[in-house]
């Protein structure tokens, strides 16, 4: 998945969920990561790079540990909402 594809999927999930920090399920490299996307990180430093980092934290009253997933390691169909959409 490219950075731009990832941002498009996140924008759609955020629109459906009514938030700019959607709950996601990521399938990458044989692992499944579930949680809320952290959006307060700065964007890509190199705007022509296809790579980026998606940071997901466990939701709750107190944020849990964060998982970092390289966007390039997510297959094109590997980013979904927690409900499977």
Contact call for residues 85 and 49 (beta carbons, < 8 A): no
Q: What is the pLDDT of residues 43-73, one digit of tens each?
A: 556 666 767 888 999 888 887 788 888 888 9
User: In the chain, what are the domains?
Assistant: 3-81 (2.30.30)
Contact call for residues 36 and 84 (beta carbons, < 8 A): no
Q: Which two tokens stand for residue 67?
A: 């998982």
Res. 16 pLDDT band, cuts 50 70 90: very high
What pLDDT is stored for residue 85 in this prediction? 67
Mean pLDDT within 23-36: 92
């Amino acid at each position: 998945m490219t950075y731009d594809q990832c941002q498009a999927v996140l924008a759609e999930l955020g629109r459906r969920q009514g938030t700019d920090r959607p709950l996601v399920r990521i399938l990458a490299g044989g692992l499944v990561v579930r949680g809320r996307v952290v959006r307060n990180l700065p964007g890509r430093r190199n705007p022509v790079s296809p790579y980026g980092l998606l940071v997901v934290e466990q939701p709750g009253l107190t944020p849990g540990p964060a998982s970092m997933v390289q966007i390039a390691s997510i297959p094109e169909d590997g980013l979904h909402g927690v409900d499977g959409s």
